[in-house]
Amino acid sequence: HASGAALQRTLRAQGIEVSSSRQLVELVNDGVPEVTTLVRNAGRLAGQVLTPLVNFFNPDVLVLGGGLSAAEPFVAAVRGAIYERCLPLATRDLEIATAVTGRDACMLGAGALVLDEVLAGDWVDDALSAR
């Protein structure tokens, strides 16, 4: 409901051809009302999903990544939903930011985890003990 792919399908059904999240963001920046409305709604839905996590874990920072995080209406809607629905204690010091790496954040994070695991050397001990 709130992914770039879901929004692309919805827009195609409305006759607006969109092939990527980057193009979605460009259309939002160009002020296309149908796209902006969908992106805002996606942000609201994402914020509703994140609300219980923020209330439970009380994080200092919430970092939004992915292609839609480049659209300000998406980020504003996430912020609005979280501040509206969360306990004041959970949002008092909460910083909501976008990932510096943008849409590549997941891939870079996965790569960092792999490197950490490989460089830790535990896999070598496990492989040798399996023999």
pTM: 0.79
Contacting residues for 55 by C-beta, under 8 A, at least 6 apart: 86, 87, 90
Q: Measure the CA–CA gap between 84 and 70, rounded to whole angstroms.
A: 22
For the segment 66-95, what is each residue's pLDDT rounded down to a tens digit? 889 999 999 999 999 999 999 999 999 999
Asked whether residue 34 falls in the same domain as residue 58, the answer is: yes
Number of domains in the chain: 2
Place of tokens 């399996």: 130
Q: Are residues 77 and 13 in the same domain?
A: yes
Note the pLDDT of residue 125: 59
Residues 81, 17 within the same domain: yes
Q: Same domain, yes or no, for 24 and 74?
A: yes
Going through 19-118 in order, the beta strands assigned E by DSSP cover 61-64, 95-98
Q: What is the per-residue pLDDT across 33-66, written as a single tens digit (0 to 9) for each?
A: 999 999 999 999 999 999 999 999 999 999 998 8
Residue whose tokens read 């942000």: 43
DSSP classification of residue 86? S
Arithmetic mean of pLDDT, 115-130? 66
Would you say 126 and 95 are in contact if contact means Cβ atoms under 8 Å apart?
A: no
